Amino acid sequence: MGYKNESILSTIELGKAIKRHRTERNISLRDAADETGVSASTLSRIENGTGRPDADNIARISQWLDMPVDRMMKKQSDDTVEPVVYYPHEATPEIVSAHLRADRNLAPETAEALSELFRVAYTQFSGKK
């Protein structure tokens, strides 16, 4: 039946989002585990890029992050242009990051670097911590 055991979820992006959310809120893995219902060890493995969450944990984490699941999906490898979807409740740095990742003229590493640069500048100039 030609089943591919290839994940469409970017666990790297998910791990970064978890770490960023914890850091912004200044909470521990245990606190995040209590809030998400996902064990601290599982969250740690996802943050470190060694864990692959199941569907239930993905749903719990995306709800905790207040981030749509499609934001955590890997880019298509073909030449189709992915639409940039964002939701009004998302923070401006997340929206800008989504646009940068969708830009076909930027390498993923460049998009990530620009995204982080914007995040730092936005935090500094907006007065948000």
Query: Model confidence over 19-62: pLDDT tens digits?
Result: 888 988 899 999 999 999 999 999 999 998 888 888 889 889 98
pLDDT of residue 29: 93
The topology under which CATH files domain 7-74 is 434 Repressor (Amino-terminal Domain) (1.10.260)
Q: Domain boundaries in the chain?
A: 7-74, 76-129
What is the amino acid identity at position 80? T
